[in-house]
Structure 1
């Protein structure tokens, strides 16, 4: 009995650890866009064209610090033990997202002339910009995989799981559509044409809120949302 109690305690602690990491990842996802929007409202400075553009602003420390914190939490996330031969796993996708978001923070987007970061100096401005864009794409792709593949695994054993899966899928497709539209804006030059309304910033915010929502739901910190989805489906 003592051994069974010890095993159960370890399992409970593991579950609580998973929940804490998921909640932290979700909270950081909500925090960054809201902090940048608050800065734009409270200080006499127009909204920047993208979230990444805030690297070249007084909010640089908030931008970099939040992304590195996300990288740390994602790297620490083990998830569930995969089956033999399985390669799309919680741990693999979390590590991919962690490395990608760290690169987004450490290799900034194109900006005004000034001192370069260490990685920028090594890679050069052109390659640095490419690394930043690719890393951002991989980050959101990994989080879309969490929403559409990993989070929805398991038996649908009740209305709460069904509602959660619906939220995850909405979040996953929101990420994909938002990032796809950003790619379209860049490919067509509409990001410059429509720069006045900041489409890239708003689409990045939508994708970020989507992944934050999915992790918050997975961490059981948005239960009112889950209950609302259950009620709406009746």
Structure 2
């Protein structure tokens, strides 16, 4: 006789829920885009400019040859997040994050000095909206890592390895955005080849990309193991 473990006893399926493969694919799409954007933007800008063209920030790529890639990539992430459904809590927060990602894409940051030394009042106001959307987006993505993803039941009193990945990614996002905020207030290192804002944003985006890639179970070594039936 085979008894079912508690993990095998599931509540009735939600008719609005997505199938497992769709959920994994959307997570994978978000993860891959998060990993690629911080790399593709400066590399593509350098190739199209025929010189090593580093960016003041990821958002500043709006004013380069990579504008369409930046806007398209963020809009794609936004659409994936809005379409993503897993449970009610993640559904609501992912929809909020998706709207914020699209807002970051559609409301560009204030143009850097290399573009215009004296931004107009409208450009400054739009830049403030951009910052608000970006701060909200990273805040929600950090919450996903720290509270929603890293909630696996402990086995033998220990967290599974994937939970530690989520926690590290979440705190990296918090630290990265904190560094961006401090650099913005103190106007730090704007003449460095790699600026603090770009590094902070890039590391944060890479971290959330890693977290969603792990959550997609594409990395089989970190994927949760299926529950086994207990034989009575």
Asked if TM exceeds 0.5, the reply is yes
Name structure 2 gaps, 5 residues minimum: 1-11, 224-232
Moved more, 157-166 or 181-190: 157-166
List aligned pairs for 1:120-135, cutoff 5 A: 124-135=122-133
Q: Is the 8 A contact 1:148 1:172 kept in 2?
A: yes
* Residues 130-159 of structure 1, C-alpha deviations (whole Å, 9 max, x = no match): 110111111111000100000122423479
SS in 1 for 2:54: coil
Structure 1 residues 41, 220: CA separation in 2 closer, same or farther (over 3 Å shift)? same
* Residues 42-73 of structure 1, C-alpha deviations (whole Å, 9 max, x = no match): 33142011111111111111111000000000
Structure 1 residues 80, 159: CA separation in 2 closer, same or farther (over 3 Å shift)? farther
* Residues 184-213 of structure 1, C-alpha deviations (whole Å, 9 max, x = no match): 111111153x54332211111110010000
Aligned partner of 1:20 in structure 2 is: 25
- Paired with 1:48 and 1:99, the residues of 2 have a C-alpha distance of 25
- Paired with 1:106 and 1:13, the residues of 2 have a C-alpha distance of 28
Q: How many residues align?
A: 204
Structure 1 residues 162, 207: CA separation in 2 closer, same or farther (over 3 Å shift)? same
The answer as to 2:202 corresponding to 1:197 is no
* Residues 92-151 of structure 1, C-alpha deviations (whole Å, 9 max, x = no match): 2111211111111000011135xxxxxx9xx92222111101111111110001000001
Of the three residues 152, 171, 174, the one matched with 2:172 is: 174
SS in 1 for 2:42: helix
Aligned partner of 2:66 in structure 1 is: 59
Aligned partner of 1:156 in structure 2 is: 154
SS in 1 for 2:19: helix
Q: Is the 8 A contact 2:107 2:126 kept in 1?
A: yes
Q: Determine which structure has greater relative contact order: mean sequence separation of CA pairs < 8 Å that are 6+ residues apart, divided by chain length.
A: 2
Give TM-score, length-normalised by structure 2. 0.79
- Paired with 1:216 and 1:160, the residues of 2 have a C-alpha distance of 22
Cα RMSD over matched residues?
2.7
- Paired with 2:150 and 2:84, the residues of 1 have a C-alpha distance of 17
Return structure 1 stretches of 4+ with deviation > 6 angstroms. 158-161
Give TM-score, length-normalised by structure 1. 0.78
Q: Is the 8 A contact 1:19 1:219 kept in 2?
A: yes
Return the index of the structure with the highest Cα Rg.
Answer: 2
Aligned partner of 1:101 in structure 2 is: 101
- Paired with 2:195 and 2:34, the residues of 1 have a C-alpha distance of 19
